């Protein structure tokens, strides 16, 4: 098989593999909604419970239920706090039962449970409380380039690894492009996204334990080593393959694991200790 044909097939394979990894990462992370179906009197009721919210208002949970005899109970409290559970009856809006999760500052979390009721019988949607994290709005002019560069960093990373395996001639060029994409997407635009979303540019080592930040810098270091090795000697391709494998393993770690969060137990109770209407009284 000619190199051009083989290269085209490897590009297609790299893109397909990247899309597969991206879907896996998105659907396994702690911000992916909890979805399910519950049966009540032979009625199948589907639900989607949010675990991430970027609006400036309360997070709205809606469950479509045509049977008006079914009621809903919504319980919530801030995550990592000394709060007692607050319980409210869900609101009927047309065919939907609606609950509002009180808005929080960026990185603030709320844990909540929903129980449906009919004829005196309870139907709890989840065995454990669902945790939702609030975040600030990230402008599309920042978010889209960030996703673009991170996407292509992974595509070129996979392609670089394949190039090393077949001993192709473009290992250095692909390594250079991967390193640049990772630097721009992960170390420049990444912290800007973090600042908009959670009001901090960097919460990884040595100032915190944010896994997204930490795995980004680890991947970049490996690619930087690979690039320097290839600059010195174009035949020294081993580090490029290692860097490709490292980035792949890192991408298989669900996004936002060990992400930024507020520990309300460490905050002055005079500021964060009461609920007020549909919002927590932040005292600001």
Return d(Cα 131, Cα 165) in angstroms, integer.
43
Helix ranges (DSSP H) in the chain: 3-28, 140-165, 171-182, 189-198, 211-232, 238-251
Largest CA distance in the chain: 76
pLDDT at 202: 73
pLDDT at 258: 57
Q: In order of start, what are the domains of the chain with their CATH numbers? A: 3-28+138-251 (no CATH), 34-137 (2.60.40.10)
Residue appearing with tokens 């990462």: 25
pLDDT at 268: 57
pLDDT at 23: 84
pLDDT at 211: 66
Q: What are phi and psi of 191, to 5 degrees?
A: -60, -30
Per-residue buried b or exposed e for 47-76, using 16+ beta carbons within 10 Å of the residue's own CB:
bebbbbbeeeebbebbbebeeeebebbbeb
Return d(Cα 128, Cα 116) in angstroms, integer.
15
For the chain, list residues with pLDDT below 50: 269-284
Question: Coil, helix or strand for 158?
Answer: helix
Return d(Cα 77, Cα 268) in angstroms, integer.
17
CB contact at 8 A, 241 and 164: yes
- Provide the token pair at 130: 């669902």
Q: Is 42 left (phi over 0), alpha (psi -120 to 50) or beta?
A: left
DSSP code, position 102 = P
* Digit-coded pLDDT (tens) for 71-105: 999 999 999 899 999 999 999 998 899 999 999 99
Closest of 272, 254, 255 to residue 263, by C-alpha: 272
């Amino acid at each position: 098989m000619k190199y051009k044909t083989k290269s085209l097939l490897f590009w297609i394979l790299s893109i397909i593999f990247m899309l597969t990894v991206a879907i896996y990462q998105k659907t396994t992370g702690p911000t992916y909604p909890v979805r399910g179906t519950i049966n009540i009197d032979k009625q199948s009721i589907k639900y989607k419970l949010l675990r991430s919210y970027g609006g400036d208002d309360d997070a709205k949970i809606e469950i479509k239920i045509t049977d008006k005899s079914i009621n809903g109970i919504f319980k919530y409290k801030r995550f990592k706090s000394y709060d007692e559970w607050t319980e409210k009856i869900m609101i009927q809006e047309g065919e939907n039962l609606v609950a509002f999760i009180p808005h929080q500052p960026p990185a603030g979390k709320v844990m909540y449970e929903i129980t449906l009721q009919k004829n005196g019988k309870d139907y709890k949607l989840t065995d454990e409380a669902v945790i939702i994290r609030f975040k600030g709005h990230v402008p599309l002019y920042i978010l889209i380039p960030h996703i673009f560069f991170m996407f292509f960093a992974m595509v070129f990373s996979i392609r670089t690894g394949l190039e090393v395996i077949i001993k192709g001639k473009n290992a250095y060029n692909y390594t250079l492009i991967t390193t640049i994409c990772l630097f721009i997407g992960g170390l420049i635009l990444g912290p800007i996204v973090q600042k908009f979303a959670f009001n901090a540019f960097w919460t990884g080592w040595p100032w915190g334990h944010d896994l997204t930040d930490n795995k980004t810098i680890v991947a970049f270091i490996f690619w930087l080593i690979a690039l320097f090795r290839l600059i010195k000697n174009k035949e020294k391709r081993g580090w490029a393959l290692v860097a490709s494998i490292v980035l792949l393993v890192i991408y298989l770690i669900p996004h936002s694991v060990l992400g930024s969060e507020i520990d309300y137990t460490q905050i002055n109770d005079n500021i964060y200790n009461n609920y007020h209407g549909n919002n927590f009284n932040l005292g600001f």
